[in-house]
Amino acid sequence: MPMIIFFMRQNHKKKALSEILDVKKIEQVGKPIETANGLPNECYISEDYFAYERDKVFCDNWTVIGVGSLIPNPGDAKPYNLLGIPLMIVRDKDMKIRVFHNVCSHRGFKLLDKPCTLKNVIRCPYHSWSYDFRGNLIATPHIGGLNIHETEMFDKSNSNLKEVRTTVWMDIIFVNIHGNELEFNEYIKPLEDRWSKFIVKEDQHSLVHSRDYGYFNLDVKSNWKFAIENYCESYHLPTIHPELNKISNISDHYHIQGLPNRFAGQGSKKYDQIIKGNKKFDTFPNWEKSMLKNSEYIALFPNVMIGLHADHFYVFWIEPLAMNKTKEHMQMYYVGDESANGDQLQELRKQNLSFWKDVMLEDISAVEGMQEGRNSPTYNGGYFSPIMDQPTHQFHKWVANNLIDKF
């Protein structure tokens, strides 16, 4: 029996990158765009790579696992599975969002299996050990025998829940599982500086999530990276989004490549507010009037895509479920509660959400087509348009850099 157990453990040992793919293929990604290749097939179809990527790409970086508006009240809680790591998101009594490893410190039982509103404690269903909303172990029923709930032989303070490094920015919940990334204020500063001509920090507090037409989810049969790659560029507009291309074609777009390399995307100079009669959404108060037609669509690596417009903001975040399976979550926000939830603007919200859902649905054929194509043994990662694919190449380099920390 011990020999069998040892064999099984060896089989489940995580492989080194060099055991999964030729590392030279990853180095090729970092070359100048004119001669670079994209990430190789293994990065999209290998289960061993998918396991390797979890630690290097998701656990080492600030990763999105949801939005705060979905747990609006004290005690609201929901589980989240980050590529096999069970987590639990909780809003505490001071309205702070906390994330814990979703496991009891006693016997490792999963604490939460569905969204709920907790009354006063987080209680383990197994032996009723209970924690407050800050993760402190506060009750250990019968730990010393029947009706003996405490013992000098056990120090509760050593068995609190394990809290995950967490921050919330523009309602987006970020976690850094390994706790090794930059302070978030420093991490997000390049993007905030870029957007200072559109919104300032005070404006972020005016964002309100729409309760009626404020969200949708999409299931996609592809690797999560294809959604980010596709979002970064406007090159596909004429073929994948012909109607959108009539409104804002590729000549109306510009590249966005954030430095240091944490985000990339595209901007448009042809955004028009939705107007019906004399009704329209409020705009951000500090948005430069000369730039009301500007909108920007940025992928903040690894897994969130955000769209900023003068009158609304969306969060389109990616939940990787498997090597070739992804769930996409859209959350829509407006400036102030009247635009977000007022009866007078309900039809405009419905129209806006429907527009973006149609756009994202059109993208599914593109990302699923790339996933199927990656099964070809003749494909080498592909080449980039030196003009049109610069933001996509930047994302590939970011992934490669996280894998081998070389460029």
The pLDDT tens digits of the residues spanning 17-30 come to 999 999 999 999 99
Structure tokens given for 46: 């290998």
pLDDT for 11: 44
> Distances from the Cα of 166 to the Cαs of 73, 176, 345, in angstroms?
18, 7, 34
pTM: 0.94
Rg (CA), the chain: 23
Structure tokens given for 220: 């996609």
**Residues written for the chain:** 407
Structure tokens given for 86: 């069970």
pLDDT for 405: 67
Residues contacting 245, CB < 8 A, separation 6+ = 237, 238
Residues contacting 29, CB < 8 A, separation 6+ = 36, 37, 38, 39, 381, 396, 397, 399, 400
Give the rounded percent of residues in the chain with a pLDDT score beyond 70.
Answer: 96
Residue ranges of domains in the chain, CATH in brackets:
65-167 (2.102.10.10), 183-404 (3.90.380.10)
pLDDT for 103: 98
Neighbours of 18 (CB within 10 A): 11
Q: What are phi and psi of 233, to 5 degrees?
A: -125, 155
CA end-to-end distance (rounded Å), the chain: 46
Query: Strand, helix or coil at 121?
Result: coil
**List of the chain residues with pLDDT < 70:** 1-13, 405-407
Neighbours of 250 (CB within 10 A): 15
pLDDT for 244: 85
Structure tokens given for 47: 């289960």
Structure tokens given for 148: 């003996």
For 55-96, write each residue's pLDDT tens digit: 999 999 999 999 999 999 999 999 999 999 999 999 999 999
pLDDT for 383: 96
For 346-399, write each residue's pLDDT tens digit: 999 999 999 999 999 999 999 999 999 999 999 999 999 999 999 999 999 999
Secondary structure element (H or E) that encloses residue 351, with its range: helix 346-373
